[in-house]
Chains A and B, each alone.
Chain A
Amino acid sequence: MQEYESVMLGLILFLPLVGAILNGFVLRRVPLAVSATVGTLAIAVPFALSVPLVFGPVLESGSAVRLALFDWIHIATAGGSDFRIPFEVSVDRLSGTLLLIITGVGSLIHIYASGYMSHEKGVYRFYSYLNLFVFSMLCLALGSNMLVTFLGWEGVGVCSYLLIGYWFEKEANAAAGMKAFVANRVGDLGFLVAMFLSVKLFGTLDYASLGEAVASLSPAWFEQHSLEVTLIGLCLLLGVTGKSAQLPLYVWLPDAMAGPTPVSALIHAATMVTAGVYLMARMSFLLVHSEVAMMAIAVVGAATALFAATIGLVQTDIKKVLAYSTVSQLGFMVLACGVGAFQYGVAHLMTHAFFKALLFLGAGSVIHALHHEQDLRKMGGLIRKMPITGWTFVIGTLAIIGFPGLSGFFSKDEILYYAWTGSYGHPILWGVGALAAACTSFYMVRLTALVFFGKSRMDREAEAHCHENPLNMTAPLMILAVLAIVGGYVSVPHAIGHLFGFDGDNLITSWLKPVLAPAKETMLAMRGESHGSTALEWGLMGASVVAMAASSLFAIVLYRSGPEGGKGLANSFGALYRLVLDKWRVDELYARLIYNPLKSIADHCFRFGDRGLIEGFINDGPKGVYLVTSVISDVQSGLLRNYLKLVFVSVLVLVLVAVS
């Protein structure tokens, strides 16, 4: 039995890699249908295998199914002990959740891409990258130690780099890919340092052993090592801000929209960017030991949620609105982790994967139908032309704004409730979150209104060509729409559950209990019981529903007849509006503070350092010595010999100076 599960896990992990190799190296001259079929099967078969694995052994045992492949790094030490890092993957309930999302949503997007990319040449490259991405993402989620996770963590970064720059003939696209990779690398340094600290403190990178080590240590030990533990938390947070596009490293994600839309849906909405949330849930047992780190996480999450939402309010590019929305929603997930409600971070990760993939694919469907038109101002009334895309998009919108009964309502509501009452919660965090949620309703309703309702603003030719897309694109939309409706029932709030006579933990809480229990116990011991009540829960829920309804209605009123409706309001804000429109000019700020100074330092290093100082010393130093020696000694014949001697003497002087 054990063996059978290991084989399944091996197949799940490596089939996407096989797909990537087949598509990338073998199937370079085949028609799209072949590339797409191979690419999709490489993800769909693992999904089919994952379902029985996760709902079978993983559900029943509550523990992990492991597969140890080989020793990745193994060195002996002088102390006689071995330093060993195995290449091992495992599925427990947390990684199982991710596994199902990655392969499930991944399969749908692979199917969709066969329609979206139908006019492209050389699609083998696209499917190869996409399969490779899924393989890396599976390493990230399934790795049973931090180093395997890091393999996936950087692997998804490379695939993202390649896919953002998929249409590399436009330099801006390739540059966006580079920006994403470099911003992520800044975060990765945080991950690296967190690993080094873990090795130093606990001597292991294995999550299970880390968990045991942390559990066995006394509170006094943590007090003594509070600095290191906090640093681990903050370094992980730095990693999260890179991969999950949080302040201050989020700047790459909006640019990443240069990639094909299925990529935006899979990588930059549903899976890769949520890796940070996964990592925090995975490391929750350690993070909760540092109050500073937890608070920093909560603050970063809340601030990002609001900050990105404000930019989303004014964007005019359909994908950019969704990109900032993604940054904002990731902020909610990070906020959830920061206040100690890790399970709702994961719940929102899942519901967001459904509705944001749906929204991106819907946007892609529109873009495909309009021949790569992405400007909101040139759309309108599309629901009549593209009913399936339109109505599924409406469902996605209702889900993300938290319309009662749809998935976003449940998961976001729980996050906001815990932002107030969680172990590290605070009313201010709730306030910021609620404001961000209100902004979400506004920009999403604005987006939907401008694209699908009102009068058409397309030019005549585009309008004539515009039609609903074929089934391989609309079927994934419909499936995701169903998931976007029902996905939230895993995290039904306690108050509502109570109403229906259900008082236990909701699904997601009991599902993730084996993974998150140590963190919960620690928080209980450190921070005491959370101070929520059913009345407060109803109150906060009511407040967010009212805010959602009000800002949605406001958006409908403003934009019912086209983009001009918002002009008056925008003009009344003047400078502030322009600042937000310019995305708070953060890119410009970074250019001025980091990029340009670094560039000029580099130039100075080359000109003054290498060419001036060092070369000058080497080339002219001997000349000086030569001048002196030539006075007292006969000039020798043979230039090279002299030169040699003089260089020798001058370097000797250099060494003397350096040593003394």
Chain B
Amino acid sequence: MAVVHEWILTLLIFFPLAGIVGLYVLPASAVGAQKAFALGVCMVELLLSLHLVAYFLPGLSDFQFAQRLEWLPRSTGIEYIVGVDGMSLILVILTTVLCPLVVLSSYSSITKNMREFLALFLLLEASMIGALVALDLVLFYVFWEAMLIPMYFIIGIWGGKERIYATTKFFLYTVVGSLLMLVAFAYLYYLHGQIPGNAPTTSLIELYKTAASLPLETQLWLFAATAFAFAIKVPLFPFHTWLPDAHVQAPTPGSVILAGVLLKMGTYGLMRISIPMFPDASKVAAPFLISLSIVGIVYGALIAWRQTDIKKLVAYSSVSHLGFVVAGLFALNEQGFNGALYQMVNHGISTGALFLLIGVIYERRHTREMSEFGGLAKVMPWYAVFFVIATMGSVALPGTGGFIGEWLILLGVFKADPLYGVLAGTGVILGAVYMLWMALKTIWGPITKPENNRLQDVGPRESFVLGTLCVFIFVFGFASHPILDHAQTTLVHLKRSVAMGEPYRARLVSMNELIAEQQEHHVASATKRLENKRSDSKTESEDRAQ
């Protein structure tokens, strides 16, 4: 077990890569076997990730399951450091849970070059996990860019008619942002080296200290550069225009993983890097970023409402929803942080479900125009059930996970500034407008197109994928503790360091040391108890003697 504790994160990163090798060992013509194999890899990955849940200590804000290896020459200070805390743990699990479902959905939506698709998808999973657990800036950057490559090809090869335009746009936008981030990282690395007595390092934990003690102006510049990169990824208004194109052109599994996990990389970056590294700058920039988020909430919602392409509608709804997440983050209080993290998970689930639902009818009709549908509830009753549940999850109905997230975010923003809270709250109304509009035009009303009369309802595989997500929508509507309990120590720690303007302090803890420590503590307390008992009995016997 000791070995597993030490190597688990590295295993999580490299296991999907090993899976790629496996895929190419299988004969090229055995598409069915490749599908099953890729699913198996993702399932094993999911099981492996549950090891983290089983042994994670929610009471610690430190980076657990940490591992530190040499990678590049020591003089560079660039190391291989991985570890998880509350916030990354939650997102790692989100990723490993979504991936098998996405592979399942690709069975019918990907019709050519299956093996290449699955290989790219596994590469994507590996790099996403890597970006989430990396604690060295260069390592983080490598995984961050590595995520781009498979996604670039997934949209570019398996996408719709205008896939090349969309994928180029997606690539350029993200790369532009990340280049700025790289500049910021390099400058920070340089500044760190300038301080006497410092060995060069790119370790996030070391740089937290350096960055937070920089003068405000420098902090602001560096904050802006990193936040800019993450804001594009989120995407925050006005950097969002790549998203509708990418979503519309991407194949269904691409859209699901894009909405489900990739967008959260932006908000995760803000939480992991921008805010804790530059607490003072975060406080200064918070009103500006909350304002942008609120504009995004309203603007995204309004545009979503007027779309005729159903996938574009959901893409713009993501702009609105992610606006809530960023607003919650920059409320810079416990409710905002918890709500934002909660909403990241739930947006992944409900929007993932919505893209799958769109995929279902796209596969049957090869169109995404809302006017081509209508009245589907009559011919596809189970489809309608899933559709309504995903819709309600998306409008954050109480009882669905979206509600707890959105409610905490709004409460956090309201606490930061009541006016912002109310303005962001209008998104609650507009969210209902565009989502119900979509439902009205798609599943309700009369069947206007004769082609729709013969549509097949969802099959067992589709039902399984959608059903799983729908169950999660309700489970997280009531049971918030699986997420909040694991994350809150970390988030409280984050809030405290931002509020004090102090560097974010966290240790790398290896589980083996921790367990040894605990056992020692256990033995110590047991001996103590024993001693107490002995002295008790002593006094008792003394009493009796008297």
B-binding residues in A (CB < 8 A): 24, 70-78, 83, 87, 147, 150-151, 153-155, 158, 161-162, 165, 168-171, 174-175, 177-178, 181-182, 185-186, 188-189, 192-193, 195-197, 199-200, 598-599, 601-603, 605-606, 609-610, 613-615, 618, 640, 643-644, 647-648, 651-652, 655, 658-659
Complex CA distance for A175 and B335, rounded to whole angstroms: 36
A192 / chain B contacts, CB cutoff of 8 Å: 407, 410, 425, 428
Q: Are the CB atoms of B411 and A76 closer together than 8 Å?
A: no
- From A78, A599, A652, give the contact of B334 (CB < 8 A): A78
A615 / chain B contacts, CB cutoff of 8 Å: 241
B410 / chain A contacts, CB cutoff of 8 Å: 192, 196
B480 / chain A contacts, CB cutoff of 8 Å: 71-74
Q: Are the CB atoms of A659 and B224 closer together than 8 Å?
A: yes
Complex CA distance for A199 and B335, rounded to whole angstroms: 12
When each residue 98-115 of chain B gets 1 if its CB lies under 8 Å from chain A and 0 otherwise, what string results? 000000000000000000
Q: Are the CB atoms of B432 and A185 closer together than 8 Å?
A: yes
6 pairs, CB–CB < 8 Å, chain A vs chain B:
A72-B480, A75-B488, A182-B433, A192-B425, A605-B303, A606-B303
Complex CA distance for A655 and B288, rounded to whole angstroms: 13
Q: Are the CB atoms of B445 and A169 closer together than 8 Å?
A: yes
Q: Which residue of A lies closest to B432 (CB)?
A: A185
For chain B, give the interface size range. 35 or more
Asked, given contacts A601-B302, A603-B306, whether A162 binds B398 with beta carbons under 8 Å apart, the answer is no
A189 / chain B contacts, CB cutoff of 8 Å: 422, 425-426, 428-429
Asked, given contacts A74-B481, A193-B425, A602-B306, whether A150 binds B492 with beta carbons under 8 Å apart, the answer is no
User: Main SS of chain B's interface residues?
Assistant: helix
Asked, given contacts A189-B429, A648-B179, whether A75 binds B399 with beta carbons under 8 Å apart, the answer is no
Q: Would you call B7 an interface residue if the criterion is a C-beta within 8 Å of the partner chain's C-beta atoms?
A: no
Q: Would you call B392 an interface residue if the criterion is a C-beta within 8 Å of the partner chain's C-beta atoms?
A: yes
Complex CA distance for A70 and B478, rounded to whole angstroms: 9
Complex CA distance for A186 and B427, rounded to whole angstroms: 10
When each residue 369-381 of chain B gets 1 if its CB lies under 8 Å from chain A and 0 otherwise, what string results? 0000011011000
Q: Are the CB atoms of B388 and A162 closer together than 8 Å?
A: yes
Q: Would you call B418 an interface residue if the criterion is a C-beta within 8 Å of the partner chain's C-beta atoms?
A: yes
Asked, given contacts A76-B489, A154-B398, A182-B433, whether A169 binds B446 with beta carbons under 8 Å apart, the answer is yes
Interface residues of B in 385-439 (CB under 8 A from A): 385, 388, 392, 397-399, 404, 407-408, 410-411, 414-415, 418, 421-422, 425-426, 428-429, 432-433, 436-437, 439
Q: Are the CB atoms of A647 and B377 closer together than 8 Å?
A: no
When each residue 446-463 of chain B gets 1 if its CB lies under 8 Å from chain A and 0 otherwise, what string results? 110000000000000000
Q: Would you call B43 an interface residue if the criterion is a C-beta within 8 Å of the partner chain's C-beta atoms?
A: no
Complex CA distance for A618 and B489, rounded to whole angstroms: 41
Complex CA distance for A623 and B177, rounded to whole angstroms: 19
Interface residues of B in 256-294 (CB under 8 A from A): none
Q: Are the CB atoms of A165 and B444 closer together than 8 Å?
A: yes
- From A78, A147, A168, A177, give the contact of B377 (CB < 8 A): A168
Complex CA distance for A181 and B438, rounded to whole angstroms: 14
Q: Would you call B44 an interface residue if the criterion is a C-beta within 8 Å of the partner chain's C-beta atoms?
A: no
Complex CA distance for A393 and B418, rounded to whole angstroms: 50
Q: Are the CB atoms of B445 and A174 closer together than 8 Å?
A: yes
CB distance from A631 to the nearest CB of B (A): 23
When each residue 213-232 of chain B gets 1 if its CB lies under 8 Å from chain A and 0 otherwise, what string results? 00000001100110010000
CB distance from B421 to the nearest CB of A (A): 6
Complex CA distance for A139 and B512, rounded to whole angstroms: 47
Q: Are the CB atoms of A651 and B415 closer together than 8 Å?
A: no
CB distance from B496 to the nearest CB of A (A): 4
Complex CA distance for A399 and B188, rounded to whole angstroms: 79
CB distance from B156 to the nearest CB of A (A): 13
CB distance from B255 to the nearest CB of A (A): 19
Q: Are the CB atoms of B421 and A193 closer together than 8 Å?
A: yes
Q: Are the CB atoms of A175 and B432 closer together than 8 Å?
A: no
Q: Which residue of B lies closest to A162 (CB)?
A: B388
- From A74, A77, A161, A601, give the contact of B484 (CB < 8 A): A74
- From B172, B302, B306, B499, give the contact of A647 (CB < 8 A): B172
- From A73, A178, A197, A658, give the contact of B440 (CB < 8 A): A178
A87 / chain B contacts, CB cutoff of 8 Å: 478
Q: Are the CB atoms of A196 and B414 closer together than 8 Å?
A: yes
Q: Are the CB atoms of B334 and A606 closer together than 8 Å?
A: no
